[in-house]
Chains A and B, each alone.
Chain A
Amino acid sequence: MKKDLSLNDGTPTEGTTGSGTLGESLRSQGVSRRSFMKFCATTASMMALPPSMIPLIANALENAMRPSVIWLSFQECTGCTESLTRAHSPTVESLIFESISLDYHHTLQAASGEAAEAAREAAMEENFGNYLLVVDGSIPLDNPGYSTIAGISNLDMLTESAKGAAAIIAVGTCATYGGIPHANPNPTGAVSVKDIIKDKRIINVPGCPPIPVVITGVLAHYLTFGSIPELDHIGRPKAFYGQSIHDRCYRRPFYDKGQFAETFDDEGAKKGWCLFKLGCRGPTTYNACATTKWNNGTSFPIESGHPCLGCSEPDFWDGGGFYKALSMPTEDISKTAVYTVAGAAAAGAVIGALNRGKKSNSDKIHIKTTIDDLRK
């Protein structure tokens, strides 16, 4: 897989504003205009933009300057980087990668130790105010020692690096909402990027992991338009997170007709019926899985027979059992009801007896008792 990611090999002297525009960069690599058109068409598709915008994208990408990108990895499983670099579409995603100058990335870079940190600092200084900061993983606040890089705590590295960033892209549910580390009881005090940085534009790209084309789509948007895409109320790009899975799911007709799979291997499951009864979080989850799908449109969890986990929503790990339907209670209500009936029966018997007592007393002394008297 030919991939030139222009990674800094540790020498901090190289200019990192990239070699000219994206158009020039591609042409110098022998990419023809026709190939560039193909690239723009597939990029538009990836960015969920209508085909009519392809000429606009072509023009913008042709003239886009290669921004410097610093990628910080904190308390994460590296799934987001894996998702992105699996590059099942190396021509598109690696081209996006080549259109940025990835100056710092733990997993991908060749350098390590102090040389790597020096490179990061140099890139930040040289591009102050213009570099893109990409963050994956949550930040532990309880004890900075839980997660450090070269002795620097995540909190310090984030606040330091955010200062000169043009925009911050929080990738994955850990960085956007806390993710797994944040799940009950949150032993490390994990928080998200937006809980710490308050004065910079943050684009949240959640998912566990996010769909790779969504990550590159956001990057492509920034390259094309030089601005952040339109965001929803919790910072997610509406282009990818504007629709719930339920509203775009191809199994929706089965939901509407009332045809559900009751277990994972019954007739309904084999026929591909709706997975609501098996705990699907599709109705309350916003993501592009149902349209964009995974592995270049191969499939997504529901299509493969597993209900949606809701991984692009905050606190999805604590959102009730994954295999309990959304309309079911998360706790044992029947037990509560039975105990309450028993307790209330006892209480009712006592109250009833007291009422009878009051009534017969007043009968004896010939005073009329009304319901209101009993209520007192």
Chain B
Amino acid sequence: MTEIELLSWARGPGLQIATVIFVAGVVIRIFEIFMLGRKANLAEAKGGEMSGGLKTMITRTIPDRTTFKRSSVTIVSGYIFHIGLFIVCFLSAPHILFLKDIIGFGWPSLPTPVIDAFAVVTIIAMLATLVNRLTNKVMRYLTNFEDLLTWFITFLPLVTGYLAFHRIGMTAPTLLAVHILSVELLLIIFPFTKLMHAFTLFIARWYNGAISGYRGVAS
């Protein structure tokens, strides 16, 4: 198979397969969550569920002081790499074009040297999270195979994207194909791992806020 053939497969059938698995997986899991429903709360409502829920979805973004002190490395490196990934994935011109083809509209991009800098910062932050996970006693105790797998399949597109952009190691078509294939790998494994937190995060935060709001307490 020539390089261009591999690249064309990654951009075509490969992407189709990954999309089907990703979308189906996410939709089914969300349906499962919502349809299981909640037990009816027979106590009298002392406050609003919805307002508590919506507020908490946003306020939980800021960790409280004790939590922060205990897991500062996790929180800081986590925030850095999430923000970095967001910028690299959604504000780089080629990626915006990709999304524009799928959803129909695009938006302005950041200059490539800026994206490049953020990519480097994100790579460092992700490495920091891995090191923390393996050296911190508590983290090491909690870590299982799935944690390492999800770290790896998230790290791979980042690194392969960087290599593809700078054309290091292999020729350009191959590097680009590898990058796209790594994204497809991420998409395929996504719905079956804790990466679902990308969607369930907001559901969980809402639920926490809703419980408290119903009881009329702050959360």
Contact = CB atoms under 8 A, between A and B. Distances in A.
Question: Quick check: do A and B touch in the complex, using CB within 8 A?
Answer: yes
Interface of A: 177, 232-233, 244, 246-247, 255-258, 260, 276-277, 283-286, 310, 313-316, 318-320, 324-331, 333-334, 336-337, 340-341, 343-345, 347-349, 351-353, 355-356, 359
Nearest to B35: A352
A309 to B, nearest CB: 12
B93 interface: yes
Given A286-B171, A340-B24, A355-B32, A276 B112 contact: no
Contacts of A356: 35-37
Contact of A247 (B34, B98, B167): B167
Contacts of B37: 356
Contact of B31 (A246, A315, A348): A348
A340 B23 contact: yes
Given A256-B112, A256-B113, A353-B35, 12 more contacts: A255-B112, A276-B97, A277-B97, A315-B2, A326-B94, A327-B95, A327-B98, A330-B8, A333-B19, A340-B20, A345-B27, A351-B35
B104 interface: yes
Most buried by A among B8, B20, B101, B173: B173
A325 B94 contact: yes
A355 B36 contact: yes
Interface of A is mostly: helix
Nearest to A283: B172
Contacts of A327: 94-95, 97-98
Contacts of A334: 101-104
B101 to A, nearest CB: 4
B126 interface: no
A343 B28 CA distance: 9
Nearest to B25: A344
A359 B108 CA distance: 48
Contacts of A286: 171-172
B27 A340 contact: yes
What 3 A-B pairs are tightest by C-beta distance, nearest first? A348-B31, A352-B35, A327-B94
B24 A331 contact: no
Interface of B: 2-5, 7-8, 11-13, 15-16, 19-20, 23-32, 34-37, 93-95, 97-98, 100-104, 108-113, 167, 171-173, 176
Contacts of B111: 256-258
Contact of A258 (B24, B26, B28, B109): B109
A313 B173 contact: yes
B16 A284 contact: no
Nearest to B100: A328
A331 B97 contact: no
A320 B12 contact: yes
B46 to A, nearest CB: 27
A318 B12 CA distance: 11
Interface of B is mostly: helix
Contact of B19 (A284, A314, A337): A337
A328 B16 CA distance: 13
B19 A315 contact: no
Contacts of A246: 172
A328 B101 contact: yes
Contacts of A329: 11-12, 15, 98, 101-102
B101 A333 contact: yes
A336 B32 contact: no
Contacts of B3: 284, 313-314
Contact of A330 (B12, B30, B100, B109): B12
A275 to B, nearest CB: 12
Contacts of A355: 32, 35-36
A256 B15 CA distance: 27
A113 to B, nearest CB: 38
B12 A315 contact: no
A244 B164 CA distance: 12
B28 A348 contact: yes
A329 B2 CA distance: 18
A341 B103 CA distance: 14
A336 B28 contact: no
B31 A319 contact: no
Nearest to A338: B23
A276 B94 CA distance: 8
B97 A319 contact: no
